[in-house]
Amino acid sequence: MGYLRRVKIAVLGAGSWGTTVASLVAPRHETVLWARDPEVATAITSEHVNPTYLPGFTLPGELVATSDLTGAVCEADLVVVGVPTSGFRHVVEQASKCMRPWIPVVSLSKGLERGSHLRMTEVIRQVAPGHPVAALTGPNIAHEIMSGKAAAAVIATEDLEVAGAIQKVFTRGVFRVYVNDDVVGCEMGGALKNVIAIAAGIGEGLGVGDNTRAAVMSRGLAELTRLGMVMGAQPTTFAGLAGMGDLIATCMSPHSRNRAVGEQLGKGRRLDDILSEMHMVAEGVKTASVALELAERHGLDLPICSVIDRVVKSEIEPSAAYWGLTPAGHEADPG
C-alpha cells in the first residue's frame, strides 16, 4: 500500500465522523462509504449530502456510498471502520469475509466492547486475523473539519511503516496526521474521555464555574492515565493529541455528543429521553461501566467514572452527584 499513489478505500459507517473521513480522502483516492440505511447512501451519492448526520454540508462529488457491505470492501486496499462499538464486531466479521488478505483495517470508533472489555483494534485482530490494524484518533470534531478548520489526528499502530503509509492517505490540507506506536494509550484515551465529557457536560447544565469544570477535566485526565498505564500504555501519550487534546475538545465543544448528554442530564432531563432524540451514539454512556470493570480488575479507584456510571443508571441525581466528582481525598495532584 505504501508504494501506491492512489488507493481504493472503503469507509464503513456513514455517521458524522465516518462521512467526514470519507470526505477527506475521496478527492484523492477512490472511496466508497458504506451506510446501513439505503436512503442515506442514495442521498450521499446522488445529492452529495448526508442530512441525517451532517446537515448543512456539501460532500465531495467524488464520494459514492452504498448499502452493500460486500460491494464496499471486496476491492478495497484500505478498510476504515467507523461504526458504534455495539455493532463494531458484527460489521467487521461480515466485512472480513470479503476483504482481500493483508489489507490494513483502521478503527475510527472510540470505546470499549462490553463484556470482553476489548479495544476496537483488539476486536479487529480477533475477527480479521492477519490484517494490519490501526486506530485514527485525536481531537476531531466532524463539523469543524467539514468547515475547513485546522485539526490534528493520530494514527496509532505498532507497525510504523504501515502508520506512515496510512498517514499519507489521511493527511490533507489543514488536517494533519501524526503517528504513534502506543495503540493502548491512544485507544484508552479516546474511549475514556467520553465518560469525562459527560461529567463536564453535567457541570455546564448545572451552571457550575469554570474552576469546577477544569478540576473535573484535570482529575478525569488523571483517571484515564492511571487506567491506561496499568493496561500497558505510555504515560506521555495522555499528554498529547490522543489524551489531553481529545479530552479538551470533547469536554468543551458544543458539537460533542457526550458533552451534550451530560448537559441535558445536568438540566434535569431523563437519559432515555435524551438518547431517543439523538441520531448518533454517545459512547461514554456505556463506556463508564466497562471502565469500572477494568478498574476493579486492576485494583484502581476511578471516582469520576464511578459517579457517571451511577448517574446514567439513575442511581443518583446529577445535581446531587456533581460535587462528588472532585473529592477532597489524600491523593496528590500528578501535575
Same domain, 139 and 282: no
Q: Among 174, 177, 175, which residue's Cα sits nearest to residue 166?
A: 177
- Name the residue range of residue 225's domain: 189-324
pLDDT digits (tens, 9 = 90+) for 203-260: 999 998 888 889 999 999 999 999 999 999 999 999 999 999 999 999 999 999 999 9
Specify if 33 maps to a domain.
Answer: yes
Number of domains present in the structure of the chain: 2
Same domain, 174 and 231: no
Same domain, 242 and 197: yes
Is residue 8 among the annotated active site residues?
A: no
Q: What local confidence, expressed as pLDDT, does residue 2 receive?
A: 44
Q: What local confidence, expressed as pLDDT, does residue 321 receive?
A: 73
Mean pLDDT of 96-105: 95
Q: What local confidence, expressed as pLDDT, does residue 281 receive?
A: 86
Catalytic residue among 8, 97, 110, 193: 193
Grid cell of 38 as nine digits: 439505503
Same domain, 193 and 172: no
CATH label of the domain that carries residue 316: 1.10.1040.10
- The sign of the CA dihedral 63, 69, 75, 76 is positive
Q: Per-residue DSSP letters for 158-203? A: S-HHHHHHHHHHH-BTTEEEEEES-HHHHHHHHHHHHHHHHHHHHH
The strand pairing partners of 180, in sequence order, are: 156
Give the contacts of 290 (CB within 8 A, at least 6 positions apart).
111, 112, 113, 114, 117
pLDDT at 15 over 70: yes
Mean pLDDT of 182-192: 97
pLDDT at 305 over 80: yes
CATH label of the domain that carries residue 128: 3.40.50.720
pLDDT at 16 over 50: yes
Q: What local confidence, expressed as pLDDT, does residue 329 receive?
A: 46
Q: Distance between alpha carbon 319 and the CA centroid of its chain, in Å?
A: 27
Q: Has this prediction a pTM greater than 0.85?
A: yes
Final residue of a structural domain among 131, 148, 181: 181
> What is the bridge-based pairing of β-strands 64-66 and 30-34?
parallel
Specify if 317 maps to a domain.
Answer: yes
Same domain, 223 and 100: no
